Amino acid sequence: MPAELSPIDKAKFAAARRAVDFVEDGMKVGLGTGSTAAWMVRCLGERVREEGLRIVGVPTSSRTADLARQIGISVVGLDEAKWLDLTIDGADEFDAQLQLIKGGGGALLQEKIVATASDRMIVITDASKEVVNLGAFPLPVEVVPFGWQTTRALIEEMLIATDVLGRQTTLRLNGTQPYITDEGNYIVDLHLNRIGNARALAVALNQIPGVVENGLFIDICDMVIIGGAEGQVELRDINAGTIAHERIDFADDENIFADLD
């Protein structure tokens, strides 16, 4: 592994490397979006190239689709795949119940659709993403552009009666213009600081006209793999109620990093 990788990237790599061990020949696999998920796609591509692993990937964004094709993973859409064996993705936050905040990369809608169309979801992350209460990371809410300011005002009104610590909302920008999702929508980020009842908030948000989806992933994740900079990994299985500790050997194999050049 190149020495110039930061400790956080080594932690992400360790989690990603362990997660792809759960992928078996013939599987249909949801491919997440974001920096940690990118490591997973590279690790999976290495298995495809070196082991002849036969899989079909369903990407959760155009960025992930481009990367998967670049490294030799067969890519199809969800309508073609229909149902998936496994989705592997990152998260912006997770708590002890493996409830998540996702969408920092702007792909929350496709990520949630793909994850819920899977038998199992594994989240790969580092220890910094674990929180006692969700909400320190801004909660993304995807909204349609038409009347988005009205939708934002309705969200702010709803938050008054919600168990949160903050109620500031901001339109996500790309430079000076609104950030546009793959579906052509906007994202409003909610700066809540702490979410008292994530399940109730997720339901309330999706009842507001103009809201397409929110970044709270409730009862979707089955396992979290937490990577460390020295190759240590912790596997938490919410269904089995187990926690396992392992170590990944950072081999001197540079193949996975060739595409970084």
Q: Which residues, in sequence order, are CB contacts of 59 under 8 Å at separation 6+? A: 31, 33, 65, 68, 75
Contact 219, 198 (CB under 8 A): no
Contacts of 21 (CB under 8 A, 6+ apart): none
Alpha helix segments (H runs only) across 71-187: 78-81, 108-116, 148-159
Tell me the longest C-alpha to C-alpha distance in the chain: 55
Helix ranges (DSSP H) in 128-223: 148-159, 198-206
Instruction: Please tell me the distance from the alpha carbon of residue 125 to that of residue 26, in angstroms, as a whole number.
Output: 25
Tell me the two tokens of residue 40: 């997973």
The Cα 22–Cα 3 span in angstroms is: 27
What span, in angstroms and rounded, lies between the C-alpha atoms of 235 and 124? Answer: 9
Active-site residue identified among 46, 111, 142, 213: 111
Could you list the residues known to form a binding site for substrate, using ranges. Answer: 33-36, 89-92, 102-105, 129
Is 111 one of the annotated active-site residues of the chain? yes
- So which residues are the catalytic ones? 111
